[in-house]
Amino acid sequence: MANAASGMAVHDDCKLRFLDLKAKRTHRFIVFKIEEKQKQVVVEKLGEPTDSYEDFTSSLPADECRYAVYDFDYVTAENCQKSRIIFIAWSPDTSKVRNKMIYASSKDRFKRELDGIQVELQATDPTEMGLDVIRSRSN
């Protein structure tokens, strides 16, 4: 079903890979891209469970928008292992206006397809999605 706002559909692979990340923890992160010609959101990159946060951030393009999901593991002040699924809407200042508009108008519909997102971030540069930001939003 295409999104009325932007006309973008969500490829089934997006939902399947997200379920893998959420339930089986087979991916550390997923980067999603809108394929304008196909009018749908597709999986662009999958992160291995052993990949670091730096591997994740380096997989986001410097001048194009993306959606991403990151499986963030952390230890609470009470020394408990916890995990949060973080949704990041990556919209760098250097990306084209049209690119930003398409991603912005499709975000809510796409996010609804991914059941289980616990934290959402909007980032226009890497400092807005640093580990310290994610850690503070995860508690």
**SS3 sequence of 94-113:** CCCHHHHHHHHHHHHHHHHH
- H or E element, residue 55: helix 53-58
The predicted structure's pLDDT at residue 7: 67
Domain formed by 9-137, architecture:
3-Layer(aba) Sandwich (3.40)
Q: Is residue 138 very low, low, confident or very high in pLDDT (cuts 50, 70, 90)?
A: confident
The predicted structure's pLDDT at residue 77: 87
The pTM assigned to this predicted structure is 0.92
pLDDT in tens, 73-131: 999 889 999 999 999 999 999 999 999 999 999 999 999 999 999 999 999 999 999 99
The structural domains of the chain, with segments of one domain joined by +, span 9-137
Residue 47 and residue 23: Cα distance in Å, rounded?
A: 15
